[in-house]
């Protein structure tokens, strides 16, 4: 992942075709050693491809996968149970507010109720 991030930073910075050495130098600036095997594989995978198109297609896949997951989750939560019975609804309890009384104490900023000053 760090190799890809370095590659993308170099692209955004104006380097149209970052080399393995460029990526190693960038990673070295932040004290990270580049792994030669992964770096070679990344550059081979990206060779001849437009990074903007790859990102766009990845976004489309995420939207499709995310939409399917949301739809499946909604259908599962709204539908009847496997035995045909309706899902059991939980009864909500009324929310009780807690009051922190500072009887004779001081408020957070030493104001009223404290009696003393700092």
For 5, the token pair is 């991030």
Report, at the CATH architecture level, how domain 2-75 is classified. Answer: Orthogonal Bundle (1.10)
pLDDT tens profile 32-41? 888 899 999 9
For 62-114, the pLDDT digits (tens) are 888 876 555 555 555 555 555 566 666 677 777 777 665 555 555 666 666 55
Q: Are 46 and 4 in contact (CB under 8 A)?
A: no
All structural domains of the chain with their residue ranges: 2-75
Rounded to two decimals, what is the model's pTM?
0.52
Question: Using CA atoms, how far apart are residues 58 and 28, in angstroms rounded to an integer?
Answer: 29
């Amino acid at each position: 992942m760090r190799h890809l991030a370095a590659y993308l930073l170099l692209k955004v910075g104006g380097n149209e075709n970052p080399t393995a050495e460029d990526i190693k130098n960038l990673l070295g600036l932040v004290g990270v050693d580049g792994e030669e095997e992964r770096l070679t594989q990344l550059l081979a995978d990206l060779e001849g491809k437009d990074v903007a198109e790859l990102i766009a297609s990845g976004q489309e896949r995420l939207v499709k996968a995310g939409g399917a997951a949301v739809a499946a989750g909604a259908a599962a939560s709204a539908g009847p149970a496997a035995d045909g019975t309706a899902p059991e609804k939980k009864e909500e309890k009324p929310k009780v507010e807690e009051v922190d009384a500072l009887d004779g104490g001081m408020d957070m900023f030493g104001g009223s109720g404290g009696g003393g000053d700092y």
